[in-house]
Amino acid sequence: MFLFFGTRQRRKALGTGWFHCPYCYEQRQYEQVETRTWFHLFWVPLFPLGSAQESVRCTVCGGQWAPAVLGSHPAA
């Protein structure tokens, strides 16, 4: 019998908003996502591996940052 299994990443959108992108160095729109790796068997996700990872992605440059970036406000 042939078993097909492996891992896949699933992304869940948590929200969007505006933040100060450290790369663009300007106010940009971000997309906050939760990424989780799932063990799957025959393309059916069975259980998650490890904990979910949250990241904030700049919709302009595509840079990914830790959620802590949302709280940083550089001195103007």
Q: Out of 29, 60, 66, 72, point to the residue binding Zn ion (CB under 5 A).
A: 60
- Shortest reach from residue 64's CB to Zn ion, in Å: 10
- Shortest reach from residue 65's CB to Zn ion, in Å: 9
Q: Is position 56 an interface residue for Zn ion (rule: CB under 5 A)?
A: no
Question: Contact 20/74 with Cβ under 8 angstroms?
Answer: yes
**Tokens coding 43:** 């393309």
Between 17 and 48, name the residue whose CB sits nearer to Zn ion: 17
Q: How far is CA 26 from CA 42, 51, 62, in A?
A: 44, 31, 14
